[in-house]
Structure 1
Amino acid sequence: MLLRTIEKFLRDHRIAPTRFGRDAVRDPRLVFDMRLGRDPGDRVKRRIEHFMNEYRRSMGQ
C-alpha cells in the first residue's frame, strides 16, 4: 500500500525515485528496493509519510 502511494506521488509530482528516497530518508535506493520487496520499518514509513505531507503542503495541495 505504501509503495502504491509513493508511486502515485512520484507520478503526480514528477519526482525521480532516487531524488524521493534521498530527500525523504537519505536513501536513494529506497523506492527501487521497495519495488523488489523491501518493507521499511515503522520509523522509515513515518519519515516517508511526513516528507510527502510536507511536500504537498509546500506545493499548496
Structure 2
Amino acid sequence: MILRAIEKFLRENDIPPTRFGRECARDPRLVFDLRRGREPGQRITRRIEHFMNTYRRSAGL
C-alpha cells in the first residue's frame, strides 16, 4: 500500500506531508487526500515511488 510507504518515508526523513506532496507531485494536499481515501493512479504512484527512491539515494540511505 502506497500510503503506508509514504507515512514511513515521512517519519524516517522528517518531512512534512505538504512538502512531500509538493515536491513529488506538485500537490501539497496529496498525503492528506490519500489519508482520506483517495486512490492514486499508476502515474502518480510511479512518481511517488520514484521521488522516494531518488531522495533515499541522494541522502545515501
User: What TM-score, normalized to structure 1?
Assistant: 0.99
Aligned-pair identity in percent equals 70
**Gapped runs of 5+ residues in structure 2?**
none
Please give the secondary structure, in 2, of the residue aligned with 1:28.
coil
Q: Deviations over 1:2-57 (max 9, x none)?
A: 10000000000000000000000000000000000000100000000000000000
Unaligned segments of structure 1, at least 5 residues: none
- The CA RMSD measured in Å over matched residues stands at 0.3
Number of residue pairs matched?
61
